[in-house]
């Protein structure tokens, strides 16, 4: 059972998601189409193997991610967002909007088009990604 530092909802959410790697794995699952351990390792942020294994286990243990053994390769697992993980999509969309507004242009440039789509139709973007990830 997860221990929480306080009853504050922000502090408690950070107890579950408070490191950058957890949200980046969720980002990769949600928007980058990554599903396997090796695909996560290939992300530009260069997560180490021990941290990746730890965070995937943590996310699975806390119900945000599930894994299934690959039918064609028993040594390989495919990861997916659970309903609890999908419920983080609005948070990720808000982070993208915030980044577009406050980060230096050269950093946020990649997300400009996506941020514009979110600002114009947040509900539609959210519905699209939920539908894509629920298949």
Structure token digits, residue 133: 């990830």
CATH of the domain at 34: 1.10.10.10
Boundary of a domain, candidates 40, 61, 82: 82
Tell me, yes or no, whether 38 and 2 share the same domain.
yes
pLDDT tens-digit readout, 76-123: 999 999 999 999 999 999 999 988 888 877 766 777 888 899 999 999
pLDDT class of 1 with cuts at 50, 70, 90: low
Count other C-beta atoms under 10 Å from residue 128's C-beta: 12
Asked whether the whole model's pTM tops 0.75, one would answer yes
Radius of gyration of the chain (CA): 16
103: helix, coil or strand?
A: coil
3-state secondary structure of 94: helix
Q: What is the pLDDT of residues 54-81, one digit of tens each?
A: 999 999 999 999 999 988 888 899 999 9
State pLDDT tens for residues 3-41: 777 888 888 888 777 788 999 999 999 999 999 999 999
Number of domains in the chain: 2
Residues 114 and 71 in one domain: no
Is residue 121 domain-shared with residue 92, that is, in the same domain?
A: yes
pLDDT of residue 103: 80
For the beta carbon of residue 96, count every other beta carbon within 10 angstroms.
21
Range of the domain at 69: 1-82
């Amino acid at each position: 059972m997860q221990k929480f530092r306080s009853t504050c909802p922000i502090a408690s959410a950070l107890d579950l998601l408070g490191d950058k790697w957890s949200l980046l794995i969720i980002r990769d699952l949600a928007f980058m189409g990554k599903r396997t351990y090796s695909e996560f390792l290939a992300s530009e942020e260069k997560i180490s193997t021990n941290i990746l294994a730890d965070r995937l286990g943590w996310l699975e243990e806390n119900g945000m991610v599930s894994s299934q053994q690959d039918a064609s390769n028993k040594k390989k697992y495919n990861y997916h967002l659970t309903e609890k993980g999908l419920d983080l999509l609005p948070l990720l969309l808000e982070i993208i909007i915030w980044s577009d507004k406050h980060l230096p242009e050269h950093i946020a440039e990649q997300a400009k088009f996506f941020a514009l789509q979110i600002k114009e139709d947040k509900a539609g973007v959210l519905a699209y990604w939920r539908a894509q990830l629920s298949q």
